[in-house]
Structure 1
Amino acid sequence: MADKARGPRPARVEAPRDEAADIGVEARLAAGILLNAALEGRGGLDSALTFREVSSLEGPDRAFARAVAMAALRRLGEIDQILDRRLQKAPPLAVRTILRVALAQTLVLETPAFAAVSTAVKLAERDPKTRPYKNLVNAVLRGVGRDGPGLTTAESNLPDWLSARWKATWGEAGLVALALAAREEPATDLSVKPDVDPAAVAADVEGEALEGGTVRTGRRGDVATWPGFEDGTWWVQDAAAAVLHPPGPVLEARPGRHVAPTAGADRAALQGFALNVGGDGGG
């Protein structure tokens, strides 16, 4: 997707059509469900992963749906900038969702344009409420593919309050740099069982072994489909969370003081911490 520094980048269009590149309409439908669930709050994206339309998909399709939804969430401001330039008036949310899902594919995941456009039109056709807009969906997406997305700003992906805070703290250049970083999906860290070789796990998940037994991978998608998940070889845990910081100036922990656990803290680790500073580890 275009940004201030790089300028516009047109969507990739390939021919002839490769049926293998089209993962399917159902996966795109699931991506829209995940996207809207995340935007609506409530149970959020994680809860929506249990919805029948999502959970019934095969592993690769489910992973694709999640990848599309995450791409749309991270670039939502830019995607809407592109759409708003081409829409004379706001369409129903269901139609905008179809367009958002399609542009997340072509502009972020670099899905071939023919696959994204074709499935978007099919999605519009299948619902009586969106069927009258199928020509609009086709025209907008083909227009973006033909003309390119135009100039977009990474800051538009951020909430206004966050943009204002970052700009006040780090200035305009810092805001842009942080916004560009925030729109990229971070790597996933895995903690490995003590009797498992981290290098072997790293090879399986296309990652690298870090100090302390953590494996960092840029692999995307449903972790339940990754090698080693089923047999419990590893679990997802940020590298920083996998290391218990020793007592020191960070917390200034001393005997007689209480240390409040943070979200996701491991109880056994906290008990060990308490023992290190002279407590009994009991609470």
Structure 2
Amino acid sequence: MPAPTPRSTAVALLDKVLGDGRLLAELTAPLARLSPPDRARALRLANDTLRGMDRADRLLARQLRKTPQLHVMNILRLGTVELCMGGDAHGVVDELVTLVGTHPRYKRLRGLVNAILRQMAGDAGKPWKDLRIPRLPNWLRDPLVSAWGNGAVSAMEKAHFAGAPLDLTLKPGEDPTAWADRLGGTALPTGSVRIGDAGQVSALPGFEDGHWWVQDAAAALPVRILAPRPGEFILDLCAAPGGKTLQLAAAGAQVTALDTSEKRMARVTENLDRTGLSATCVTQDAFAFTEGSFDAILVDAPCSATGTIRRHPDLPHAKDGSDFGALIEQQARMIDHALTLLAPGGRLLFCTCSLLPDEGEVQVEEALARHPGLATDTAALDRPGIDPAWITEEGGLRLRPDHWPDLGGMDGFYIALLRKT
């Protein structure tokens, strides 16, 4: 069997996402045999193909009399996207023709793949830039249009298609402008640093020394709003992958980081070690944890993750919304459980990386109705870079991918700070 390459691995990833409904984050085995730079390239190729798949399918439909088997179609999709985005025609076509030729079931289609990709490298690929921005599937688009309107959703789709730059959160005391200059990036209004074409993250200055960690600018805002103080006892109830734990620890809080996944908690521990920060790490189901009375609790609840599609374009293809009801119920239970662990006068920060109001605004409205004496703290939302127009009626903060269009967007998030009296 030939050694895997970034392109062959990207096709294998596409087969799993589009054939088996798997998320890219779950697919570690196909990437394991690649070097870190090749691993990054394979993921980039797979993500680019998923973002541009609607356009690729439209162009391919003009050339195909019938749709081939999924593996072959994914080879054509990847090749079409790469060629239409400026890839080297000789390298793309030759490698993908060879790839289909090594498959015992599909090698008879080498001629078809060769002919179509050569057409895409020529005139057949020229309409690419004039095709519409790829749309979300109807199962997700329809509820989002109902919540935010067609214009806003179209703007979100534009942000999804553009993809996401790399955002970094700096340790307290580090100068965002200085690091932006050093890394060739931009200092964002909220204090994060954004890099357009980062390449291999672990090779960037400051990574090994733990001066910063990767975290979307929107994901960094919950802790900034919580405003942890040195010495406070704070529970990060759903801690992995750990960005918020690092923020809390860097602020000097006494942090208990809890998550149910041993593998994901191992990443939290690795990042704490790299950055020289400390927290008590607990691997346990959140609902089984009953210890302590905390000054503040951060609940980044399991959710649909629909706010992260600009970084995870596999999500609309791997999910269909059927599990969202159970997630919404779990979020409500998690708020109720967290309140039992909160000291009187304590602060509960609830957030989800979702674009669905049922996982944000509605959750908080219903929590306020269930718990007399619980109130939102809108004054806490007055932070650098936050537009007052993002503050919602019930006192939370709604972030969307179409915010900051001139800066590269942000993840979709809902954030609310609740105070227990």
> Normalised by the size of structure 2, how large is the TM-score?
0.50
The aligned residue for residue 21 of structure 1 is none
Higher strand share: 2
From the superposition, tell whether residues 65 and 266 of structure 1 become closer, same or farther in structure 2 (CA, over 3 Å): closer
Residue identity matched to 2:15: N
Provide, for residues 118-166 of structure 1, a one-character-per-residue CA deviation record: whole Å limited to 9, x for no partner: 11111112222221111100111111222233353224x4212233345
The aligned residue for residue 45 of structure 1 is 24
What SS does structure 1 have at the residue aligned with 2:193?
strand
What does 1:229-248 correspond to in 2, within 5 Å? 229-243=207-221, 244=223, 246=225
1:66 is aligned to 2:31:
no
What SS does structure 1 have at the residue aligned with 2:104?
coil
Unaligned runs of 5+ in 1: 1-23, 248-258
Contact in 1 for aligned 2:295/2:347 (Cα 8 Å):
no
Percent of aligned positions that are identical = 34
The aligned residue for residue 10 of structure 2 is 31
Query: How far apart are the structure 2 equivalents of 1:225 and 1:34?
Result: 25
Unaligned runs of 5+ in 2: 227-234, 256-293, 298-341, 349-419
What SS does structure 1 have at the residue aligned with 2:62?
helix
Residue identity matched to 1:207: G
From the superposition, tell whether residues 174 and 132 of structure 1 become closer, same or farther in structure 2 (CA, over 3 Å): same
What SS does structure 2 have at the residue aligned with 1:235?
strand
Selected match of 2:121 from 129, 145, 149: 145
1:190 is aligned to 2:168:
yes
TM-aligned CA deviation for residue 55 of structure 1: 2.7
What SS does structure 2 have at the residue aligned with 1:87?
coil
> Normalised by the size of structure 1, how large is the TM-score?
0.71
Contact in 2 for aligned 1:198/1:214 (Cα 8 Å):
yes
Contact in 2 for aligned 1:66/1:222 (Cα 8 Å):
no
TM-aligned CA deviation for residue 186 of structure 1: 1.6
From the superposition, tell whether residues 175 and 194 of structure 1 become closer, same or farther in structure 2 (CA, over 3 Å): closer
From the superposition, tell whether residues 81 and 196 of structure 1 become closer, same or farther in structure 2 (CA, over 3 Å): same
Contact in 1 for aligned 2:187/2:194 (Cα 8 Å):
yes
1:158 is aligned to 2:136:
yes
Residue identity matched to 2:5: E
Query: How far apart are the structure 1 equivalents of 2:59 and 2:100?
Result: 19
Give the aligned length: 244
What SS does structure 1 have at the residue aligned with 2:84?
helix
From the superposition, tell whether residues 246 and 182 of structure 1 become closer, same or farther in structure 2 (CA, over 3 Å): closer
From the superposition, tell whether residues 81 and 27 of structure 1 become closer, same or farther in structure 2 (CA, over 3 Å): same
The aligned residue for residue 111 of structure 2 is 135
What SS does structure 2 have at the residue aligned with 1:56?
coil
From the superposition, tell whether residues 211 and 170 of structure 1 become closer, same or farther in structure 2 (CA, over 3 Å): closer
1:89 is aligned to 2:156:
no
Selected match of 1:279 from 343, 346, 353: 346
Query: How far apart are the structure 2 equivalents of 1:91 and 1:279?
Result: 59
